[in-house]
Structure 1
C-alpha cells in the first residue's frame, strides 16, 4: 500500500494527510473547495514547523512530507490510484453515505474505504457500497499528528483481512490501534460525550460556572482539558450530532442532549471555530 486519498481537508482531514505523508505515503487530499485546500496546506506547514521546533522532524523531512501531498477538487482525480481512502467529511450520515456510493463507483476494486467517523454506523455506511468487506472505521483523535490512538471499527461485514491491514497500517503511523465493534459512539465517544453532556447540565442547572467545572475535572481528575473547554475544541455542533446518534441508537434518555447545548448550536455558538462557545476565543 502506497497511495492514500483523504476526503475532506478540515481539521481532521489535514491532520490525517499530514500524518500519512510524514510516514512515507503518497497522499491525495481532496476537497470541493479550493480555499479549504489552501488553508489545509497552510495548517500542515505550521504543524510541521511545530514538530521541527520540538525536534521531532528536520527541515529536510518537512520538505519531503509536503512533497508527498497533492491536492484535488475533483473526486475522480483524487481517488483513481488510491489503495486506501480515508473519508474525513462532516459528521453527517447522509453526506457520508453519498460519498461512499461515489467512492465505491470511482475507486479501483482493491481499494479499502475507511471513514474517520466518530459515531456513525460503519455497517450503515458500508451498505452503500458493493464492497462492505473492505469498509472500516479508522477514527483518529485530534490533533492527529500528536495523538496516538486510532479506533479501528469493524462493520458487520468487515473482513478480518481488512481489519488486520488497517491495524498494521496504524502501527506504521506510530499509532496505537484499538479494535472495537460497530455500536453507537464506539468506545471513545460513548464514554466521552455523556461526560461532556453532564458537564453542560451542571452549567445549565447552575451548579457552578464553566471555569469551575473545568477546574474540578483538571485538578481533581487529572484531565489535561476540562470537558467544556474540550467541547469547544471539538465543536459543539459535533458534540450534539454524536449525542443524537447515541440517543437514537440506544433509545436511552441518559444520552439526550442538554437543552443548553441545543440552544447554543442553534444560535451558532459552536466553540473555538466560531470564536464563541462556553468560552470566548
Structure 2
C-alpha cells in the first residue's frame, strides 16, 4: 500500500489578489499553515484550485512557490486530467513530474463516455504516466459515474493506479468499493461530510476542501478514524459539520475562500465564471469562525 496517501490530503486553493493575479504570498502562508498543523499531503491543481482558469505560465509559477515552501516536507500530488485523452497523455509526457509523488486524474467530463470508454481513457493515462495515479470520480461535475466495477477493473489491471478519490457522495458506492477493491488499493474520500464514515469503514483517508482551513482538527479527526477511535473522531466531525455544509452551499472554491478570508489567510477573489460567496453566506461563515 502507498502509505504516502494515508490520512488527510488537501485540495489546495489558488489565492488571487483583488486584481485577479495569483497571490503567491498567501499561497505560501496557506501551505506552511497546513504543514504546521498536521496535513499529510497536498494536491495541487485539483478542482478547488480553479485550475481551468489558471494559465500554463501561472501554473508553473504556483508549482515553483509550492516546491520552495514545501521543501520536500509533504508528498505532493498534481492534478492532470481532462476529456481529451490524447491531450491528457501529451500533458503527462511533457510535464516535469519529478517533484510529485502522484497525479490525480479526473474522469472525462462533458462527453459522457461509457464505462469502457472510461476504462480505455485511464488505460492510456496509466501507460503514459511514470508515477502513481489516483483516479478521481466526481459525477456531480463530470455527469458520468465511474462504476465500482470499472474502478476495481482498473485497480487490478494497472499497477500504477494506486487509489481513487471517490466523490460520488454515495455511501453504498463507497462500501461496494471497500468490499471489492484489491488489498492495497486506496479508497480516498472526496466528500468532506462522509470522510470519517468512509475511514471507519476501511478507507485510506480524504482529499479535503475544508481540511486546509482547519487542518489541526480535520487531520486529527481522520487520524482518530484510521485508529478506529470513532467516539473521539465524531466529536471533531460535529465541531466542523456546519462549516462543511456552508462551503459547498453556493460553489467551491468561493466557500472555502470566504473561510480563508475570515481566517485572514487570503481574500475571497475567484475568477469568472465563479463569483464570491454572497454576504449572507459570508455572515454564517464569519460567525462560525468567531465561534470556533
Same fold (TM over 0.5): no
Bin for the TM-score computed over the shorter chain: 0.3 to 0.5
Larger radius of gyration: 1
Which structure has more relative contact order (CA 8 Å, sep 6+)? It is 2
TM-score (normalizing by structure 1): 0.35
